[in-house]
Copies of this chain bind each other. A is one copy, B any other.
Amino acid sequence: MDKILDIDNVDLKIISLLNQDAKTPYTEIAKKVFVSSGTVHVRMRKLEDMGVVKSATLNIDFSKLGYDISAFLGIYLEKSSLYDNVIEMLKQIPEVINAYYTTGNYSIFAKIICKDTNHLRTVLDNIQKVDGIDRTETLIVLEESINRPIQFFDK
């Protein structure tokens, strides 16, 4: 039984609109999707219950809050079996925003956010110290040229 089958174009339209602005009132969504606002409620509750919509978050301009540096880290492990342990350690470092298990050379691929170069230095130091990490490669983000939500298509 595939969850995707339970999702129709009305759901996709609702998700798509709310993904552009999660604060749009359901009454307004309702008008655009040509259903009642009650239906929007029912559909959203369904999507939340299904775990399709996990939460709503703010899209923040971090540089305006003094977080001027973000970077991707390619992390090499001493042994790939250490993955879970290292992830647990990385969770302790608040500057680590994302971490992925990916194909390719890196054992872990992560994203961090820092205030400035000094901050970056200390974060990198802390990450290097993590047991099981061999070495890291740093890709510092100089410019974010594209950042947008998925555009869904009809089923």
Contact = CB atoms under 8 A, between A and B. Distances in A.
Given A53-B59, A72-B102, A65 B146 contact: no
Interface in A83-139: 87, 90-91, 94, 96-104, 106, 108-110, 113, 137-139
Number of copies: 2
Contacts of A19: 57-58, 60
Given A59-B57, A140-B103, A64 B87 contact: no
30 contacts: A12-B65, A15-B58, A15-B65, A19-B60, A20-B55, A21-B57, A22-B23, A22-B57, A23-B23, A52-B60, A54-B59, A55-B58, A56-B57, A57-B59, A65-B152, A87-B145, A90-B146, A96-B146, A97-B146, A97-B148, A98-B146, A98-B148, A100-B141, A100-B144, A101-B141, A101-B142, A101-B143, A102-B141, A104-B138, A106-B139
